[in-house]
Every structure is written in C-alpha cells, then in structure tokens.
C-alpha cells in the first residue's frame, strides 16, 4: 500500500489531535471526525484503540510509516536510555524534522520535500534522505543554488514558531548544539509515550 496523499486535516480528525501546528489543523473541528458525516458512532475506545491513537499521532506528526516507526522503536529498546525518551529523541533528530524546527519549512511535508529534492547539506555534503539522523555538532545548510527558494519558504513560516534550544540557527544555517531533551520537544498535542511503548511491544 502506497503513502497517503489525501487531505492532511483528515488525519488530524482521525486521531482527534492537530498533527501540524498550522492554523488549518489547529482550528479544525477535531471532535467531529473525518468525512461528511464525521464519526457515525460514539463509542469508548478500547485500551488497544487508545494506544493505537497515541502511536498514530506521533507517526503522523513526524510523517513516519509503520515500518520506520518499528525500527525506531527497536533502536530505542536497545538503548540504555529510557525507551520513551529515546524514541522521542530519534524522531526529533530526523533531518526533515530539524528543517521544520529550524524554520526553513512550514510543515513536515514541505520539509521532507526540501530534503528529497536535494536542497539541504549536512557538514557541507548533500543529503537527500529525510530520515537521516543528525548528531551533536552537525551543521545543516542550504545549497547555494537553492538559497533563494528556501529563503522564500522560511520567510513564509509563522514568526510564532519557536526554535528549540538544542538548535542554533543563523539565517539558512543551523547547527546541532546537543541532543534534544524530552522536556524541550514541543508537539501541538499531549502525548502519552508510555501508551506508545506499550502498543509497540
């Protein structure tokens, strides 16, 4: 089955949480549900359903498919860190997410496109994999021929976008100062990471 290419707000309505911090998602009627008629039946979610929804919120927010999410979960389990904290860190360190956090793109989907089209460099070398894991000390930049287009995107980003402290941004250059801490990771919805870990067992 291919990647979903339909309306993104439909995903927000499906999990009843804004999967993007853009106005369209934040102001959507998330209690009504997707489609013309919304949720046809109001019934209480099972424990499985609640855990699934928590996992889907994260997967949609970072634009990660099920197979990728499973790999991150397996790596988080092998770490000496708390599994939930390590999972958050791995998702946050994706290159497309860093591009979004730095304000080079407005949404995760736009950030992914910027990376795939080869506009981004890491330590001076072109990287076109959105899943590339950045490390402390890495410098993310924009290729010379792409600067005009990316600057136009950056100018369109909401000025309310707060750049996290683990990133140092100077124009179209971004340096990874250190790894993100759990309390520094902002999402436009509450996340029960324990439920996600339990679901992925």
Q: Which pLDDT score is estimated for 29?
A: 78
Alpha carbons 42 and 15: distance in angstroms, whole number: 14
Q: What domains can you pick out in the chain, each with its CATH number?
A: 8-91+187-199 (1.10.1050.10), 95-179 (3.10.290.10)
Q: Judge whether residue 33 has pLDDT over 70.
A: no
Sole residue written with tokens 């990728």: 68
42 against 189, higher pLDDT:
189
The mean pLDDT of the chain is 90
Across-strand partners of 176? 167
Burial of 177 (0-12, 13-18, 19+ CB in 10 A): middle
Mean pLDDT of 6-35: 82
* Confidence (pTM): 0.90
The length of the chain in residues reads: 201
Q: Which of 91, 76, 107 is nearest to 185 (CA)?
A: 91
DSSP of 44-102, one letter per residue?
PPPHHHHHHHHHHHHHHHHT--HHHHHHHHHHHHHSSS-HHHHHHHHHHTBHHHHHHHT
Quote the percentage of the chain above a pLDDT of 70. Answer: 92
The tens digit of pLDDT for each residue in 56-114 reads 999 999 999 999 999 999 999 999 999 999 999 999 999 999 999 999 999 999 999 99
Secondary structure class of 169 (helix, strand, coil)? strand
**Per-residue CA distances from 141 to 104, 117, 174 (Å):** 10, 14, 6
Report the greatest alpha carbon distance in the chain.
Answer: 54
Secondary structure class of 138 (helix, strand, coil)? coil
Alpha carbons 49 and 109: distance in angstroms, whole number: 26
Q: Judge whether residue 40 has pLDDT over 60.
A: no
Q: Which pLDDT score is estimated for 95?
A: 98
């Amino acid at each position: 089955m291919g990647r979903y290419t339909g309306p993104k707000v439909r995903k927000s309505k499906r999990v009843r949480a804004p999967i993007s911090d853009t106005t369209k998602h934040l102001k959507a009627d998330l209690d009504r549900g997707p489609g013309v008629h919304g949720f046809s039946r109001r019934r209480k979610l099972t424990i499985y359903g609640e855990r699934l929804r928590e996992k889907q919120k994260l997967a949609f927010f970072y634009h990660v498919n099920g197979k990728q999410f499973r790999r991150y979960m397996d790596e988080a389990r092998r770490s000496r860190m708390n599994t939930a904290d390590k999972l958050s860190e791995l998702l946050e360190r994706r290159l497309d997410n860093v591009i979004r956090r730095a304000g080079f793109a407005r949404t995760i989907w736009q950030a992914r496109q910027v990376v795939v089209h080869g506009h981004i460099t890491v330590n001076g070398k072109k990287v076109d994999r959105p899943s590339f894991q950045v490390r402390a000390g890495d410098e993310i930049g924009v290729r010379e021929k792409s600067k005009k287009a990316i600057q136009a995107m950056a100018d369109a980003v909401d000025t309310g976008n707060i750049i996290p402290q683990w990133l140092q941004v100077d124009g179209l250059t971004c340096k990874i100062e250190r790894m993100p801490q759990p309390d520094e990771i902002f999402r436009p919805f509450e996340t029960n990471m324990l439920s996600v870990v339990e679901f992925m067992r």
